[in-house]
Amino acid sequence: MKKKYCILLRSAFLLTALFAVGACGKVNDEASLINNTGQHSANWVILHGTSAAVSTSSCTQCHGADLTGGISKVGCFSTSQSSFSGFVCHATSPAVDTGCKSCHGTPPDGTTTPNRAGAHGTHLALTSVTCTSCHQGAGFGTVNHAKGNATVSPPDTLKAKTVTTFGFDAASDKCSGIICHGGQTTPSWSTGSINVETDCLKCHELGTAPQAPQYNSFYSGQLSLSANPLVNLHKLHLSKNIPSTTTAVFCTNCHNATILDTQHFAGLTTPTFEATAASSIGGSGTLINNYVPYTSSAPSGSCTSSCHSVINDNPRYWVSP
C-alpha cells in the first residue's frame, strides 16, 4: 500500500510540473505572446518594448510579478537571455518604469552608464538639440543602443567648418570638431561647464575673415592705420583695457548677456546665426549707450559708449570712413 501511495504521489507531482510548463508552452489566452513551441517570436528582445509599454500583465504571467524569472526562470533584465548582441539591458527593473526610463532618466540623471547625467540636461534643454543630435544610429533596437559611450556618433551635419578630429573621445570625456562649440574641444562632459556671460572664447575664436576659420568666428569692422592697415576692430578692442581701469575689454561689454541667454542657442546645430550679432549690442550690463547698426554705406555702424566718453570721442564708427 505504501509503495502504491508513493507512485500516485510521484504521478501527481509530474502532472503538476507538466501543467506549469504547459502554461507557457502553447498559445493560449494566458500567454498569447509565445508560439506553440513555448518560445517568443524571433527578434523578441527588440519587439517586446511595444507590448510592455501597453501592459506588463502578459509578461508577469510567466516571468513573475517582478519580472525576475517566475515559472519561466528567465528574467527580463540584466540576464544573458535578455541580452542584445551580447549587451545586457535594463539596469533597473522595467517593472519600476517602462520605456526609456527603465534604463535611464530622460534626460539621464545618474552617475553611471546607462544613466550618466553629465551635460545631458543642459543640452536637451536647448530647442535645437535632441538625443539623435549626438546618438545617430543608436535608437532602441540597434546594437549601438546598448553600448553606452560607444553610441556617441554625431552626424556629419554637426561638423564644424574646419575640423581636425570629429566626435566624442571617451578617454578624455570631450568632443571636438562640433559646430555647436565652434569646432573647439569642449569641456569635460562629466565635470565641465560653460558660462555664457564669461566663456565666449570657449566656442568663438577670432577670425581672419568673415566665417573663417569657423562659421561663428568673430570678424567685423576694419580700421585703416598707416602702420597696420585693415586692423580688425574686434581684435583691437579685445587687446585694450576699459579706459581708466586695468580691466580688459570683453565681449559682454558690448554684447548684452541677457539677450544672448534667450537668443543664442536656438540654432547651434546650423552654420547660420539664429539672431544677428548687432541685435545683442547695447542695453543693461553693457558699456554701450547707443548703437547704430552697420550698413554698406560709409561711414556707418556708430556707437556711443562710456569707454569713448572718457576721451570725449563719441560717437565712434565701427567701420572707419
- Residues 6+ away with beta carbon under 8 Å from 63: 69, 70, 72, 74, 75, 76
Residue 38 has a pLDDT of: 74
* Residue (of 192, 185, 188) closest to 170 by Cα position: 188
pLDDT 10s digits, 167-224: 999 899 999 999 999 999 999 999 999 988 889 999 999 998 888 999 999 887 766 6
Percent of the chain with pLDDT over 70: 74
At 227, is the pLDDT very low, low, confident or very high (cuts 50, 70, 90)? low
pLDDT tops 50 at residue 32: yes
Q: Decide if 72 contacts 24 (C-beta within 8 A).
A: yes
pTM of the model: 0.71
Q: Residue 236's pLDDT is what?
A: 87
Element (H, E) at 317: strand 316-319
**CA dist list (Å): 33 to 54, 73, 138:** 13, 17, 26
Whether pLDDT at 35 is above 50 = yes
pLDDT of residue 28: 41
- Choice among 106-120, 127-141, 224-238 with the minimum mean pLDDT: 224-238
Amino acid 259 reads: I
The whole-angstrom separation of Cα 317 and Cα 303 is 6
Tell me the pLDDT band of 263, cut-offs 50, 70 and 90.
Answer: confident
pLDDT at residue 124, rounded to an integer? 87
How many residues are there in the chain? 321
Q: What is the pLDDT of residues 60-115, one digit of tens each?
A: 888 888 888 888 888 877 666 667 777 766 655 665 666 677 677 888 888 877 78
Q: Which distant-in-sequence residues (6+ apart) come within 8 Å of 204 by Cβ?
A: 182, 214, 216, 217, 218, 251
